[in-house]
Structure 1
Amino acid sequence: MKIFSVTDITRAVKDVLETEFPFIWVRGQVTNLARPASGHIYFTLTDGDAGLSVVWFKGNQRNGGNGGEESVNPLTGEIESGAPLELEDGMEILCAGHMNVYPPRGTYQLVAELVQEQGVGDLKLAFEAMKRKLSEKGYFAEDRKMDIPRSPKRVAVVTAATGAAVRDFLKIAETRGTGAEIRIYPTLVQGDAAPAQIAQALDAVSDDGWAEVTVLIRGGGSLEDLWAFNTEPVADSIFRSTVPVLCGVGHEVDVSIADYVADKRVATPSHAAQELWPRREILMQTVDEMDSSLTRSFENFLTMRYSRLETLQKGLSWLSPAQRVERLLLSFEEEGERLNRAAGKFLKTKFDTVEALGSRLSFAFGEERIERREQDLAGLQRRLARAADIFLKDKQSECETASNSLRMLDPESPLERGYSLVTIEKSGTFLRSPDEVEDGDSIRLRVKSGEVRAKVTSE
């Protein structure tokens, strides 16, 4: 059984927590706010059911407390100015950062890199009103949206020319795909003049007819900072664009009206480049796989062709006249040998048969044999004569008996003694009873020397 030390357990929890949550967004309410002299800010972020400790180091605070001097946004890379966000207990905020474990106390906490207020009431109402209006007009309908081309060669990018968004987009684009031509349509992305400039740039892309896809991007910010992308002129220009629009405004949690109208939305400007072009290592791996597949296919093709060639060569050699003559000669030799063997066997069989018949003939037709046959024949002749005489006498007696029987059965023999045969003329049958005739019926009387016709009367 292994026994862990407190340090080991803490280190293991730290590794797991920081690996699983390298960068997250958390929404909640500020409580237990503390501002020590170091300039760091400590507070608890709660949603009513749970609390999360947060530390906002001075170096990560916008403007770093430098009294309104310009500073760089740690997430977007954009130059910003103005006083840092003033936190108060009870304020609803969004925090972006990474999780870590503080070993001395064994507690976990969120190290904030960006803190922004969770919306403004009036802007939220205006956002929802604009969303409902454009939804009713069909701006968000999926069936009107165009497909975003994969690996485009001509890309128009509508964004601030010097912002971090375009730098991130171009940096990612350099490492992906097989190369493409990118045109920047510079415009303001924040402020009162931004909506009209964004709409004008989007219309210019459509009018040029050059690009395969339009990329509309901007780095993250507050709802006020991103408000240009929630305006109707920008939504109208995206809706009437003849070029597919890919929108990557703000961060994952920032959803603008432009995102809803665009043909496709991505989380960040970097994701826009990732959406358009595959990674080059994946392309190279695909090429390697295709090369290997082509090599295997070519080897299989050659193997099949070699096998086919061998089959054809065998078939050709089999059909060759010289080979055919050689096979015929060989066949003739084999058949000649078989014929010789069959002839020898046939002759031997016949010789044996003749010899056997000669022996039987000699036995059957020798002098003693002939003499015995003559004696047997004489005896059979005498027996045949006696048998024939007896047979003829028997048959003659049978004939006489049959003749007498026939004479007795002859219907005309009684006529010799004065009898007659009476037949009914109409039926031709013999008359056997007086009931078979009536007055006036004709009858025939046959006597020894002829026939007599008569009619029946009752007198």
Structure 2
Amino acid sequence: MDKIINSSPYIFSVSELTQGIKDILESKFPFVWVKGQISNYTVASSGHIYFTLKDEGACLDVVWFKGNQLGFSKLKTLLKDGQEVLCAGRLNVYPPRGRYQLIIEFVQEVGTGTLFLAFEKLKEKLAQEGLFSPDTKKEIPFNPTIVGVITAPNSAALQDFLTISSQYGLEKRFILYPTSVQGEESISQIVKAIEIANIHAKAEVLVLIRGGGSLEDLWSFNTEEVARAIFSSKIPIITGIGHEIDTTIADLVADKRASTPSHVPQLLWMKKQELFSKVQQLEENLWQAIDGFLYKKEHNLSNKIREFSFLNPFKKIESLEDKFNSFQLILENKFNLFLTRKIKDFSALEQKIVSFFSPEYFKLYFQKIRGLEENLIQNCLQLLTKKENQLKLLNNQISNLDPFLPLNRGYSLVKIKSSGEIVKSIRQLKTGEKVEIRVKDGSKEAKIC
């Protein structure tokens, strides 16, 4: 029988194992030359440069410390994503993250990477076919109510888009067409999502969005299949892919490009606060116009009242004043009723503007508002003209009732001195009674003999 040996394996701590790997790796590869394509090129505020060196099968993190960059000032300005370079340096394991990286001391430009060359080749081909031509761009609808969104369902880009969209426009609905936005399978999924959205024909506009990433991460949007699907879409498409500096083939073919997913809502809707401010300003302008109109008419009416204030307070005048007050009250009541009806019309118009805001709809109701304003002014002018004519007629009637008016035509007025009665018959006079004879330019007393 074989002898059984009871022995326990040696158990490493994470630090021990990482340090062992670091010692072996750094001693085995003290200085290496590596060729690859740059991706995720970043210059830190400290002056250090970080990027990923990759080929078709693997990738390697690279650190170029500021102290090792002396003599490479011109080359630093030329490096970019997609460029192929030759790097020399030493391998290093960074224990806090358990990752190995290449700390370079020398960089030499080799040429443009394969992905960048493929991008430029496809770009030139599609440009010659007219896929980027402004003449082929479809018009983006203003204030759409149904928007199709093509992106990853749980992505940060989708959440940013929905959050910013809530601050713009009024009532709207989104239809999500979920797809992958990275990897080989994402190409066919994006194409299929565009085709399905066109078959449904429910969305007024399609939004194709994705967050930032390297050239490789965004490569699905640089493929010919996606570009032709966007170009063939009957529904206009807005793209918001990556960061502001990222421009993909999909952006060039799309009917409109947003710099980021968060920028897309600004191309579709006006900000809610701006909409409400415009409606409020229109309401204030209308009330100012009404107040100005009423003030002017009230001023004119006050002048007319003062013109008739010199008349003698006969009973007929009092009756005419009562009629005037009655006419004025009727005029005010009719005007208030008319104004109330127009305010209701304006409120209904305001609600429709808020619910269905669009340039054409807005323009139509602006015309109606102007029409209402013109009708209001015309009706008020007609009513005031009519009442002015009535006042003139009443003034003439009052003038005709003046008992001293015949004196201007050569007649005289005889009054009994003691009673003040006007003599209308000879039977009113008695011998020896004193009378007052009034003519145009004065009066004299006389005694009946």
Contact 2:147 2:174 in 1 (8 A): yes
User: Whole-Å Cα distance in 1 between the matches of residues 42 and 255 of structure 2?
Assistant: 28
Helix, strand or coil at the partner of 1:48: helix
Helix, strand or coil at the partner of 2:162: helix
Aligned to 1:129: 121
Matching of residues 427-442 of structure 1 within 5 Å: none
Bigger Rg, structure 1 or 2: 1
Aligned to 2:74: 48
- Give the deviation of 1:292 after TM superposition: 1.7
Aligned to 1:223: 215
* 1:139 and 2:170 aligned: no
Helix, strand or coil at the partner of 2:174: strand
Compared CA separation, residues 164 and 298, structure 1 to 2 (3 A) = same
User: Whole-Å Cα distance in 1 between the matches of residues 279 and 103 of structure 2?
Assistant: 54
Matching of residues 266-277 of structure 1 within 5 Å: 266-277=258-269
Aligned to 2:390: 316
User: Whole-Å Cα distance in 1 between the matches of residues 288 and 95 of structure 2?
Assistant: 62
Matching of residues 8-407 of structure 1 within 5 Å: 42-43=65-66, 48=74, 66-67=97-98, 88=104, 121-303=113-295, 308=381, 309-320=383-394, 323-330=395-402, 333-334=404-405, 336-337=407-408, 339=410
Gaps of 5+ in 2: 1-40, 51-62, 78-93, 301-380, 413-438, 441-449
Compared CA separation, residues 207 and 315, structure 1 to 2 (3 A) = same
Compared CA separation, residues 33 and 303, structure 1 to 2 (3 A) = closer
Which AA in structure 1 matches 2:397? Answer: V
Contact 1:239 1:262 in 2 (8 A): yes
Which AA in structure 2 matches 1:278? Answer: M
User: Whole-Å Cα distance in 2 between the matches of residues 64 and 270 of structure 1?
Assistant: 37
Which AA in structure 1 matches 2:132? Answer: F
Compared CA separation, residues 87 and 310, structure 1 to 2 (3 A) = farther
- Give the deviation of 1:90 after TM superposition: 6.0
Matching of residues 409-424 of structure 1 within 5 Å: none
Helix, strand or coil at the partner of 1:167: helix
User: Whole-Å Cα distance in 2 between the matches of residues 155 and 172 of structure 1?
Assistant: 14
- Give the deviation of 1:245 after TM superposition: 0.6
- Give the deviation of 1:278 after TM superposition: 2.5
User: Whole-Å Cα distance in 2 between the matches of residues 140 and 203 of structure 1?
Assistant: 20
- Give the deviation of 1:171 after TM superposition: 1.2
User: Whole-Å Cα distance in 1 between the matches of residues 106 and 292 of structure 2?
Assistant: 73
Compared CA separation, residues 143 and 305, structure 1 to 2 (3 A) = farther
- Give the deviation of 1:66 after TM superposition: 3.2
Which AA in structure 1 matches 2:115? Answer: L
- Give the deviation of 1:147 after TM superposition: 1.9
- Give the deviation of 1:221 after TM superposition: 0.5
Aligned to 2:364: none
- Give the deviation of 1:138 after TM superposition: 0.9
Which AA in structure 1 matches 2:281? Answer: E
Contact 1:31 1:89 in 2 (8 A): no
TM-score by length of 1: 0.49
User: Whole-Å Cα distance in 1 between the matches of residues 206 and 120 of structure 2?
Assistant: 26
Contact 1:248 1:267 in 2 (8 A): yes
Helix, strand or coil at the partner of 1:193: helix
- Give the deviation of 1:250 after TM superposition: 0.5
Compared CA separation, residues 170 and 157, structure 1 to 2 (3 A) = same
Contact 2:150 2:190 in 1 (8 A): yes
User: Whole-Å Cα distance in 1 between the matches of residues 384 and 48 of structure 2?
Assistant: 88
Helix, strand or coil at the partner of 1:217: strand
- Give the deviation of 1:135 after TM superposition: 0.8
- Give the deviation of 1:163 after TM superposition: 1.1
- Identity among equivalent pairs (%): 37
TM-score by length of 2: 0.50
User: Whole-Å Cα distance in 1 between the matches of residues 141 and 75 of structure 2?
Assistant: 45
Which AA in structure 2 matches 1:66? Answer: R
Helix, strand or coil at the partner of 1:138: coil
- Give the deviation of 1:290 after TM superposition: 2.5
- Give the deviation of 1:325 after TM superposition: 2.6
Which AA in structure 2 matches 1:279? Answer: K
Compared CA separation, residues 27 and 126, structure 1 to 2 (3 A) = farther
Compared CA separation, residues 50 and 232, structure 1 to 2 (3 A) = closer
- Give the deviation of 1:27 after TM superposition: 7.2
Compared CA separation, residues 290 and 32, structure 1 to 2 (3 A) = closer
Compared CA separation, residues 152 and 50, structure 1 to 2 (3 A) = same
Compared CA separation, residues 293 and 86, structure 1 to 2 (3 A) = farther
Aligned to 1:412: none
Gaps of 5+ in 1: 1-24, 35-39, 52-62, 69-82, 94-118, 346-459
User: Whole-Å Cα distance in 2 between the matches of residues 249 and 169 of structure 1?
Assistant: 12
Compared CA separation, residues 50 and 216, structure 1 to 2 (3 A) = closer
Helix, strand or coil at the partner of 1:157: strand
Which AA in structure 1 matches 2:214? Answer: S
Helix, strand or coil at the partner of 1:293: helix
List, as ranges, runs of 4+ consecutive aligned residues in structure 1 with deviation greater than 4 Å. 25-28, 30-34, 44-47, 89-93, 301-307, 332-335, 338-341
Contact 1:32 1:43 in 2 (8 A): yes
Which AA in structure 1 matches 2:237? Answer: V
Deviation per CA, 1:194-240, whole angstroms, max 9, x where unpaired? 11110110111111111111000000111011010011111111101
